Amino acid sequence: MKKIKLIHEIRAVKSRRELANIIKAQRIAEKILKETLAKLQTNVTELAIAEFITKKFTKYGAPILSFSPIVAFGKNTANIHHEPGKTKLKYGDIVMLDFGCTVNHYCSDMTRTYFWGEPNIRQKKIYLAVLEAQNRAIKKIMSGEKRAKVIDKTARDFLNKKYGAKKFSHGLGHGIGTVIHEWPNFKPKSKDILPIGCVMTVEPGIYFKGFGGVRIEDMVLITKNGYKNLTNVPKDLKSAILK
């Protein structure tokens, strides 16, 4: 067991070249996100947008994806691992996009949540709460905290207090590299200590069956004195309103 953990720890720390691959994969994903937002229109299906994303990655020379794109509209955004279907985009819908690609086998991962039209009060409150939870976790990393469960707890306690313990139903994030989920992990009972040089996702989410959900995910590099955010896409509420 000790030997296995050592391999995970060595693998988690990224060299300059490995980090460059992850960043390149993320920049491609960001370019495609921008084009995807321009492609959204009322009555377009989740499946059509997912196919558009996949084709764009091939066009930009990154045909091997980190995972199948998650495209969810409306109530489907409450499903964490939603598979795109025939659901059409309607005014007032929440839109969740979660995707990434690989460059030289190294993955990127990003989630953004948007509103197709002016969000209602409940939608706004949920979005701002998730954003605040993410900011709190990132501030904890910035303070030099390396204990995964402490970072997870910072975001989880904030959301649990607002919405109850069952609405944030997954870990705060995970390591990323040649596979989409690597050691270490942000989970409530995680005993992991973040090594300097690992890349982590920070992705709090809140989900209400029959209503919808919000997830915001960035990739961050863990540094000696804090972190560096590798995700370069706005996430303020104004940027999340598309129409």
Give tens-digit pLDDT for 76-116. 999 999 999 999 999 999 999 999 999 999 999 999 999 99
Query: Quick one: pLDDT at residue 1?
Result: 47
Q: What percent of the chain has pLDDT over 90?
A: 95
92 in helix, strand or coil? coil
Give the residue-averaged pLDDT of 151-161.
98
Q: How far apart are CA 97 and CA 111, in angstroms?
A: 6
Max Cα-Cα span within the chain: 53
pLDDT tens digits for 183-230?
999 999 999 999 999 999 999 999 999 999 999 999 999 999 899 999
146 has pLDDT over 80 = yes
pLDDT tens digits for 53-74?
999 999 999 999 999 999 999 9
Query: Quick one: pLDDT at residue 8?
Result: 85
179 has pLDDT over 60 = yes
Query: Quick one: pLDDT at residue 3?
Result: 59
Number of domains in the chain: 1
117 has pLDDT over 60 = yes
What CATH number has the domain bearing residue 136? 3.90.230.10
User: pTM for the whole thing?
Assistant: 0.95
Q: Which domain holds residue 209?
A: 2-240
Contacts 24+ apart (CB under 8 A), 16-24: 18/106, 18/177, 19/199, 19/221, 21/103, 21/104, 21/105, 21/106, 22/103, 22/106, 22/107, 22/108, 22/176, 22/177, 22/199, 22/219, 22/230, 23/230, 24/103
